[in-house]
A and B are shown apart, each in its own frame.
Chain A
Amino acid sequence: MHQIVQAIILGVLVGGVYALMASGLTLVFGVMKVINVAQGALVIFAAYLSYALFTDLHIDPFLSILIVTPAMFVLGVAVQFTFVRSLRGPDATELSLLVMWALALGIEGVLSVIFKTTYRISSPSYADNSWTVLGYRISEVRFFAFVASAVLLLLLSFVLTRTRFGRAVRAIVQNPTAATLLGVDSDRTQMLSFGLGVSLAAAAGAVYGVIYPFNPGSHYDLISRLLTIVVLGGLGSIGGAIFAAVGMGVIEALVTVEISPVWASFSFFVILIAFLLVRPQGIFGVRERTL
């Protein structure tokens, strides 16, 4: 029983970080119907930025979120303006897949040239510390990572529910045509949403680089996990992404401890397939109605 509870704690802590990454991916899809398969590469890019700030300027990785996030927001806006904005029409979603994948490979290539392919990890002085609470081990960095993710997700929720921009985003998610007719500036909202999605990847990347060793190729595994999370949560649903991410973290940790690491990822896919057979729109997704 001790092992099971320990696994659940680990799973929840890790799931929080994945939730942050996945929320950016699902936000962009909800607003623009763009599947940003570069989200994993952007997370790794941010992990490198944070790593460089830590090793060269001794800026704590968690503090570096304050630098990396706005910088990558600007990058996200630029990417949307340059590559995504021109994709319109019925094939836009499919075309966006190719464009974003090209971006992911481009980022991987640039990182390989600059940082080489050896694994990196940001190791602040408290990286090895852990607390024992009621006999359960809680790593400090993982706890801080979870807290940082939770705070940022709350901030995202505030932006989406309490600001004019957030209302515009939600209006476009629900009905883009009606939102435009009511005066929502669709182009501007899409651009800012993409920037916001990338900045969420940035914050998650800074946190990711403290928990796991990474190299430029780490984005392949990341994006497969993130896509699974957003599909299970319901494409476009941030609440669903959070729920699915934490669920994935817990299931993987439990299967690793109780059965085998070999089955950990696979078990999550089994649950995903089983769930989608019953509820194809995902946990919090809305079934689209057609006439």
Chain B
Amino acid sequence: MTRIPVRLAVVAGCVAVAAIAGSIGAGAAAPTAAPIKIGISLSLSGDFSDPGGFAKQGYELWAKTVNAKGGVLGRKVTLIIKDDASSPTQAATNYQNFITKDKVDLVFGPFSTLLTAPSAAVASRYGYAFIEPAGGGPAVFDQKLHNVFFTQPAPIVESGDVFVKWLHSLPKSKRPKTAAYPALDDPFSSPIADRMRGQLEKAGVKTVYKTIYPSENVDMTPIVSKIAAAKPDMVVGGTQAGDGYALVKAMVQAHFSPKFLFLSNGPNSPGEFPGKVGVKNVNGIFSASDWYQDSKTPGNKAFVKAFLKAYGGKASSIDPGSAEAYAVGQVVEAVAKKIHSIDNAKIIAALHKGSWPTVEGTLHWNSIGEPQGQFLLMEWLNHQLYPVLPKNVAVKKPVYPKPAWGK
């Protein structure tokens, strides 16, 4: 008997508070231009909470920066960020609510392909542009949506292309003749290794071992034992972070050091990789990345400066995930300035034409949102991660063959 009145009181209280808050909010609103509301679902808890946090930093930094300049088209920007707990279902629900309940003006993408694919479909259904920083896997582009714009230089599956091109440029006697391809069985990693294997086999590099391992495979030692027995000149791993670290550790313990080692992920994390595999074991390892702190891309210097002012730390420890998210904001800022509108249909139409300057480079997309540029080839040299290709970004030249472990 007593529970119903208590609940009613709570509900009534909430309604009253909401009403008061609403009236205060309405009273405080700018009389001229209402802010531009942007809905963003981010993984602030769960498996992707770390990269979700990096994206949040990038988005919030952009909002702060653009608001300090007077906003977009004279309107301040308000970000409505909701946690999706790293769940694709929750992310899709969040976007549904942003569009139908919160009536946001724009939506920005969440973290990772897994969450971007269903979220982009929701946005497409309502005609919203879906400019997104981290959904670069085939699952996003296979939907062939015309509202998607991925703010990295190229689709993730192409992240190894720059390494293969570089190998082709080497004198024939210096190129690897044999290769092994271990790859994680997920939608982002194994396609990279498969694509590189196809390109390298065409170029005459003999495949001596290839395997796919499931994500629950935490022990890389048996795989490395098999690779070492095949004695390849090169190992190309389609990896994510954890398995990438484990693969390198297992190679070190097996005293197996190939002449060339490329891992799609793991070594491209400058803050994490040395601690996981030992700083003395990093030299000569290649990976790919979409961003570098000293790149001369549009607005990058200002981004790095503002980031360090807002969050502290070192430029080399800024996660590319923050730059990717910041680039989403840059694209919106640029397109709104060009078309004098934030109408989603007009934004989609405009972004399919021309090039758009961002910290990730000057981006342009095909009809399904795949960027048409190329990734940076990164290499660990003197225990630091540097871009070594393409030449306009490179800080150092690629060094090969890889030194022995501990050198």
Chain A contact residues, CB within 8 Å of chain B:
2-3, 6-7, 10, 14, 109, 112, 116-119, 121, 123, 127-130, 137, 139, 141-142, 211-213, 215, 217-218, 221, 224, 252-253, 256-257, 260-262, 264-265
Q: Which residue of A lies closest to B255 (CB)?
A: A130
Query: Given the interface contacts A116-B50, A121-B249, A260-B212, does A128 sit within 8 Å of B223 by beta carbon?
Result: no
Q: Which residue of A lies closest to B213 (CB)?
A: A261
Mark each residue of chain B from 29 to 56: 1 if its CB lies under 8 Å from any CB of chain A, else 0: 0000000000000000111111001000
How many angstroms between the C-alpha atoms of A119 and B229 in the bound complex? 28
Residues of A within 8 A of B255 (CB): 130, 137
Q: Whole-angstrom distance from the CB of B262 to the nearest CB of chain A?
A: 20
The answer, yes or no, to whether B242 is at the interface (CB within 8 Å) is yes
Q: Which listed residue (B45, B223, B275, B276) contacts A261, Cβ 8 A? A: B223
The answer, yes or no, to whether B272 is at the interface (CB within 8 Å) is yes
Q: Whole-angstrom distance from the CB of B23 to the nearest CB of chain A?
A: 36
A3 with B225: CB separation less than 8 A = yes
A261 with B281: CB separation less than 8 A = no
B278 with A253: CB separation less than 8 A = no
Chain B contact residues, CB within 8 Å of chain A:
45-50, 53, 185, 211-214, 216-219, 221-223, 225-226, 229, 241-242, 245-246, 249, 252-255, 272, 275-276, 278, 281, 405-406
Q: Whole-angstrom distance from the CB of A209 to the nearest CB of chain B?
A: 12
How many angstroms between the C-alpha atoms of A37 and B218 in the bound complex? 20
How many angstroms between the C-alpha atoms of A129 and B45 in the bound complex? 37
Q: Whole-angstrom distance from the CB of B86 to the nearest CB of chain A?
A: 9
Residues of B within 8 A of A215 (CB): 242
Q: Which listed residue (A118, A128, A211) contacts B272, Cβ 8 A? A: A118
A7 with B222: CB separation less than 8 A = yes
Contacts between chains A and B (CB distance < 8 A), count: 109
Query: Given the interface contacts A261-B212, A261-B222, does A127 sit within 8 Å of B278 by beta carbon?
Result: yes
B252 with A128: CB separation less than 8 A = yes
How many angstroms between the C-alpha atoms of A229 and B235 in the bound complex? 34
B405 with A128: CB separation less than 8 A = yes
A10 with B222: CB separation less than 8 A = yes
Residues of B within 8 A of A211 (CB): 219
Query: Given the interface contacts A139-B253, A262-B185, does A221 sit within 8 Å of B218 by beta carbon?
Result: yes
Residues of A within 8 A of B46 (CB): 112, 117
A117 with B48: CB separation less than 8 A = yes
How many angstroms between the C-alpha atoms of A218 and B242 in the bound complex? 11
Query: Given the interface contacts A118-B241, A130-B254, does A218 sit within 8 Å of B49 by beta carbon?
Result: no
A262 with B212: CB separation less than 8 A = yes
How many angstroms between the C-alpha atoms of A97 and B307 in the bound complex? 46
How many angstroms between the C-alpha atoms of A224 and B216 in the bound complex? 10
Q: What are 6 inter-chain pairs, A to B, with CB distance below 8 A? A: A116-B53, A119-B272, A128-B405, A141-B253, A213-B242, A262-B185
Q: Which residue of A lies closest to B266 (CB)?
A: A119
Q: Which listed residue (A112, A119, A218, A257) contacts B45, Cβ 8 A? A: A112
Residues of B within 8 A of A212 (CB): 218-219, 246
Q: Whole-angstrom distance from the CB of A219 to the nearest CB of chain B?
A: 12
Q: Which residue of A lies closest to B216 (CB)?
A: A221
Q: Which listed residue (A109, A213, A264) contacts B246, Cβ 8 A? A: A213
Q: Whole-angstrom distance from the CB of A137 to the nearest CB of chain B?
A: 6
Q: With contacts A117-B47, A121-B245 known, what are 9 further pairs, Cβ within 8 A?
A: A10-B221, A116-B50, A116-B53, A127-B278, A128-B278, A137-B225, A213-B246, A256-B219, A262-B212
Q: Whole-angstrom distance from the CB of A105 to the nearest CB of chain B?
A: 11
